[in-house]
Amino acid sequence: MAKNNNLYLLLIFILVGILPVFSGCSKKSVIVDNANVSKTKFRVIGYLPGRENIITSANSIDYNKITYLYIAFINPDSLGRLTGTENLKTVADIAHTKGVKILVSIGGGSAPAYYPRFLTGEKKTKIISGLVELAVNNNLDGIDVDLEGGLIDTNYENFVIDLSSALKQKNKMITAAIATVYKDQFTDKALAHFDFINIMSYDKTGPWNPSRTGPHAPYEMAVEDLEYWTKTRGIAKEKLSLGVPFYGYGFGGTAPESISWKNLLIQYPNAAQADEKSVNDGMIYYNGIPTIRKKTSLALEKAGGIMIWQLLQDTTGSQSLLNNIDEVIKSKGR
C-alpha cells in the first residue's frame, strides 16, 4: 500500500510540473501569432540621390526612422551598361546592418532620352539581366521602377512583367514610383506586378511652368491622389505609399527655382510652420511641418506607407521633417 501511495504521489508531482510548461508554451505561441497577424509595419521610404560620396551620405541617415532606402538613379549608358554602381554593396551592408531594406531606382525625371530602346527586344533582355545581376551581386532587396512621361509607353507593361518575373526568381522585390498626371498610361496589369507603389504626390507645378505659380504639393493633392488609386483604380491601400517633398519651388523675383528644406530654414528660420514664404517680389512654396504631419496622418489612415524625396534635403532636430514623420507614426502606435 505504501508503495502504491508513493507511486500516486510521484504521478501528481509529474503532472503538476508538466502542465504549467505546456500551458506556458501554448499561451506564448498564441501571443506571438496574434502579433504577427494583426500588425503590418508602416513603410517609410527615403530616396538617397547622387553617386558622389554615396558612402558618406549613407552613413548620415537616421535608419531608425526609415524602413526602405532607395538609391537614385541607376541607369544604362547608350550601350546598355549600368552606370553609377560603385559602392552599392557597401551601402547595402550599412542599410541591412540597421535593419533597413535597400533598392536601386531606375529612370527618374531626367532619365536618358534613349531609354525607350531598352524597353523592348534584345536590349530589354539585356537591361533586365543586368538589373537582376546588379541586385544579386550587391545584396540589394530589389529594383524600383521610376519611369515617367513618355517612358510609360506601349512597351512599359511587358517590361515590368518581364522584370518582375526575373526578380521574383531571385527572391527580389519590384516597386514603382508613379504620378497621377500619367494615370492613363499605367495599365492595371502592369501595376499588379509591383510589390507596392509609391505615389509622387508633388510637382503639380514648378520652375518648368513659370506661368502656373502656386503650391506644388498641397494637402488636397495627396487626398485626391490616394482616392484615385484606391477607389478608381481599385488598388489596396496597403500597397500604396504617399510621396512627400523635402524641398520647395520658387516663382518670381529673387525666389530660387528650387530649395531644400534644410536651406530654406537656414535662409528663413521662421518658415517652418507655413507652406509658403514671400521673397521680395517672389514666393517659395513647400510643405512645412504642420502639413507634413497632416500628410503622415493621412497616409497612416489611407495608405500603407510614406515616401520621401529626398533624405539629404532634411535638417536635424525638432524641425527635421523625418523626425516629425516619425513622431506622428509612433503616436499612432505604428
What does the pLDDT read at residue 237?
98
pLDDT confidence bin for 212, thresholds 50/70/90: very high
Dist. CA 104–CA 69, nearest whole Å: 8
Provide the residue ranges of all domains of the chain, joining segments of one domain with +. Answer: 40-246+287-331
What does the pLDDT read at residue 31?
29
Task: Report yes or no: 229 and 240 within 8 Å, Cβ to Cβ.
Answer: yes
pLDDT at 233 over 70: yes
What does the pLDDT read at residue 58?
97
Question: CA distances (Å), 295 to each of 173, 287, 289, 299, in order?
Answer: 26, 10, 10, 6
Q: Which residues contact 283 (CB under 8 A, 6 or more apart)?
A: 213, 250, 251, 252, 255, 276, 277
**% residues pLDDT > 70 (the chain):** 88
CB-based burial of residue 206 (10 Å sphere; 0-12 exposed, 13-18 middle, 19+ buried)? middle
pLDDT at 7 over 70: no
Nearest 5°: the CA angle 25, 30, 31 is 100
What does the pLDDT read at residue 181?
98
Question: Where is pLDDT greater, at 280 or 286?
Answer: 286
What does the pLDDT read at residue 52?
80
pLDDT confidence bin for 29, thresholds 50/70/90: very low
pLDDT at 185 over 70: yes
Nearest 5°: the CA angle 267, 270, 274 is 110
**What mean pLDDT value characterizes the chain?**
90
Task: Report yes or no: 48 and 74 within 8 Å, Cβ to Cβ.
Answer: no
pLDDT at 50 over 90: no
What does the pLDDT read at residue 38?
34
pLDDT confidence bin for 10, thresholds 50/70/90: very low
* Cell representation of residue 19: 502542465
Per DSSP, what are the bridge partners of residue 54? none
pLDDT tens digits, one per residue of 82-138: 998 999 999 999 999 999 999 999 999 999 999 999 999 999 999 999 999 999 999
pLDDT at 36 over 80: no
pLDDT tens digits, one per residue of 128-173: 999 999 999 999 999 999 999 999 999 999 999 999 999 999 999 9
Strands 276-279 and 282-285, sheet pairing:
antiparallel
Class of domain 40-246+287-331: alpha beta
pLDDT tens digits, one per residue of 240-273: 999 999 999 999 999 999 999 999 999 999 999 9
Question: CA distances (Å), 121 to each of 23, 37, 147, 149, 258, in order?
Answer: 61, 43, 18, 21, 38
Average pLDDT (174-186) is: 98
pLDDT confidence bin for 4, thresholds 50/70/90: very low
- Whether the model clears a pTM of 0.85, i.e. scores above it, the answer is yes
